[in-house]
A and B are shown apart, each in its own frame.
Chain A
Amino acid sequence: MAHFTKATSIKDWLNQRLAIDTVEKVMMSEYWIPKNINFLWAMGMVLVITFALLLVSGIFLLMYYVPTTAEAFNSVNYTIMREVDFGWLWRHVHGVAASVVFLIIYIHMFTGIYYGSYKKGREMIWISGMLLFVAFSAEAFSGYMLPWGQMSYWAGMVITNLFAGGSLHADGLVEWIRGDYVPAQAFLGRFFMLHVLLIPLAIMGLIGLHFGALRVPHVNNQDGEEIDFDAEAKKYLDGDKAGSKVMRFANDFMAKDMMVVGVYLVFFFYLVFYNYGFAMDPVNFDPADGLKTPAHIYPEWYFLWSYEILRPFSTDIGLMAFAFAQVIFMMLPFLDRSPNSVPASRRGLFRIWFWALLIDMIALTAMGKLPPEGIFSSIGLYAALIFIALWIALPIITMFEKKV
C-alpha cells in the first residue's frame, strides 16, 4: 500500500490519488512549445474544435435520425430540419464541419510535409496522423450514406463496387460488404453502426496516439531548428520568458491557438448560415432511387483527387493506382531519403516537389468533379501520371539532396 497522508485541501486529496499536478505540468504548463512557429501550428487545435462540433451536433442528430431506408430521408429532411427546435442548426453545423474538417486536415498535412515534421523521431506522429485521415475518410463516407438521398445511394453503390477488384470479379465480397445485392437496409444499418460507434471510437483512440507520439519529440518549429527543450525550459522558469526559445502550452500557446480558432469560427459559422451548398449537395435532396442514376455522380470534394486517380485508367490499372494513392502518403517518412529536417524552402528540388504535388492534387481535385470528357479527361490523366511520377521521384530527389 503506497503512503498516504492526511489531505490539506481538496486539491491535495485529489493529487495524492490522481497526481493531477503532474498531469497538468506534463500536458499543459510544462509542455514546452517552440516560440518560432506560425498560425499553421494552430491547425491541430482547430481540428479538435471541429471534431467537438461534429460530436455535439452529431449527438442531437442521433436523437432523431431513424436508420431505416423507409424513414431515414424524412427523419433528416422533415423531422430534424422542420420539426426539431434548432434541428436545422445541428444539421448545417454537422454537414459543414464534416466538409471543412478535411480542408483543415489537408492544410495540417501539407504543413507537416513542408516543414519536415514527419522526420527525425516524428515518424509516428505522421503515421498516426495518416491513420486519422483514413479514419476520418471512413467516417465521412459512412456518414454520407445516412440521409439516404440519391448521392448516398449511388456513392454507396459505386464505392462498394470497387471491392469487386476489377478482373478479380469478387462480387461475393461486394455482396458481403453490403449485406445484400445492392445498398439496402443491411447496408444502411451497418454504416450507421460504423459512423456512430466504431469509427468515432477508433478516431478517439488514434487522437490519443497522435498526441502521445507528439509529446516526446515535441512540436517542430518554422526553421527546423533542433531545440534543447530542457535548457530553454529552465531559462523560462528562471524568469527569462522573453529570451527563452520556448513557451508553455497552457496558457501561452493556447492563447494564440484560441485566437486562430476565433478567426476560424467566424469563417465556419459564415458557411453554416450563409454558404453551405458545397457541403450539402443538391443531388442528395432527392430520396434514394435504385432505379434511377443521377446525371452526375461525384464524391465530396475531399475525395475527388483520389477518385480522379482511379478514373483515367482501365479498371485494373485504375484500381492499382487508387490503392497506391491511398497508401503512399503513409510511406513519406521512409521515401524521403534526405536527413534534412528544415522547411522545404531550403531543400532545393524538394521545394519544387512540394509545390508540384500540391498543384497536382488541386488539378486532380478539379478534374474529379468534372465529367470525364475532352480536355478534362486529358488533364486528369496527366495529373494522375504526374502524381505517380512525383512519388517515384521522391526517393531519388531526396537521396541527392545537399545536407543543410
Chain B
Amino acid sequence: MKNKEPLILAVVVIFTLVVYYLVEPFAHAQMHKHIEGEGFAYSDLPAVTKTGDAARGQELVMGAGACVGCHSIKVVDMPAPMDAVSSAQAYGVNPPDLSNAGVIFDEKFLTDLIKNPTHALMVEHKYTPESGKMHPMMQFYGAGGDIDQEVADMVAYLKSIAIKPEELTPAIAFENACGRCHSVGYERWTQIGSKPMFKHKKDELAFDIKVIEYQDALTAYMGKLPPDLSMYIRSRGEHFINTFIENPQSHLEGTAMPRVGVTAESAEKVIEYLEDSGDTKRHEREEIGVNVMIYIVIFAIFALLWKKQVWRDLH
C-alpha cells in the first residue's frame, strides 16, 4: 500500500493556494487599479533655482507677504488672528500654524504654493474662473523685486525657524499636515485640537459644540466632511494612503482634497501616526508572534515524535 499522503497533501495545498490567489491578490488587483507613487518627488513642480536668505524672508513673511495676516507662527510668538472656529467660518478651514511648515512640507511645494496656491494644492479644478470661487489663500504677487528670490527667501525663513527633521514626531507631522481637516477620534484629535478631559459635562459639551461648528464650516467649504482617520491605516493601507497623499486626484479624480505637499519623511511620520491610531498593538503582535511560532513548531515536533512512538507497534 504505497503512501499517497504526499500527493494528497500537494493536491490540497495547490487547490488552496489557487483559491487564495484568485480571491485575494487577483480579485483585489481587478477591483482597485494600482497607482505607482513617485516617492514624493513632485516631478510636476519646477526645481528650486534660488538660494533663499532667511533674514530677508522674515521681513517678507511678517510684512509684504502678508502671511501673518492669516497664519500664526507660534514658535516666534505670532498668534493667530482669529480662533479656529471663526477662521473656519471665514475661510472654510483654519489656516495652519507655520512654525514647522519648513520641515514638514517639500521645498518645491512651498515655493510653488506661495506663488500659485491652487496649482500646488491641485485644486484648480475646483477654483475655475466659471465657478466664481476664490481660494482662501491668495497668491503672492511679489514685493517689488525678483519674485522668485523673494519666495525663496520666505521659504528659507520658514525652514530656519522649524525643528530639525530628526525632531519631527508623528503627532507634529499629522496635526499640521492633516489635522485641520481630519479628526482622529481614537487619539482624541479634533480639527480644533486635542480634546481635553473635562470634569464638568457642561464644559465638555461646549467643546463639542465648537467642534461641530468648525466641522459645519469645513463641510460647506469642502462639500463633504473629511472622514475621521482613526482606522484608515487598516481600511486603506499604507500604499494607498501614501499615493493618495502624494496625489489625491490619482485615486479620486475630482476630489476636493488638496495635495498637501509633505516630504517623504513627513509622510512616513503621518503613516506612523495612523498606525498608532489604527494598529496600536502591532509591535506587541510581532513580538508575541515570533514566540508563538517558535512554540507551535516545538508543539508540532513533539506531536510528531509521540505519533511515531505510538505507531511503531501498529505498522
Contact = CB atoms under 8 A, between A and B. Distances in A.
Interface of A: 35-36, 38-40, 77-78, 81-82, 88-89, 92, 103, 107, 222, 241-242, 247, 251-252, 255-256, 258-259, 261-263, 265-266, 269-270, 272-274, 277-278, 280, 282-286, 295-296, 301, 304, 358, 362, 365-366, 369-371, 376
B24 A38 contact: no
Contact of B285 (A82, A88, A259, A365): A88
A296 B31 contact: yes
A151 to B, nearest CB: 10
Interface stretch (B43-51, B117-125, B169-177, B302-310): B302-310
Given A241-B314, A265-B300, A371-B30, A82 B186 contact: yes
B5 A81 contact: no
Given A38-B4, A242-B315, A282-B237, A262 B296 contact: yes
Prevailing SS type, chain B contact patch:
helix
Given A39-B8, A282-B235, A241 B22 contact: no
Nearest to A289: B227
Contacts of B304: 259, 262
A53 to B, nearest CB: 13
Contacts of A36: 1
Contacts of A103: 16
A285 B24 CA distance: 17
Interface in B1-28: 1, 4-5, 8-9, 12, 15-16, 18-20, 22-24, 26-27
B300 A259 contact: yes
A251 to B, nearest CB: 6
Interface stretch (B74-82, B146-154, B260-268, B286-294): B286-294
A282 B296 contact: no
B197 interface: no
Given A82-B281, A266-B300, A366 B23 contact: yes
Contacts of A241: 313-314
Contacts of A255: 303, 306-307, 309-311
B164 interface: no
Contacts of A81: 280-281
Interface centre among B280, B288, B314, B315 (most CB of A within 10 A): B314
A369 B286 contact: no
Contacts of B16: 103
B231 interface: yes
Contacts of B285: 88-89, 92, 273
B310 to A, nearest CB: 4
Given A82-B281, A262-B296, A262-B300, 17 more contacts: A36-B1, A39-B8, A103-B16, A241-B313, A242-B314, A262-B302, A262-B304, A270-B293, A272-B289, A273-B286, A274-B289, A285-B231, A285-B232, A286-B235, A358-B15, A366-B19, A370-B31
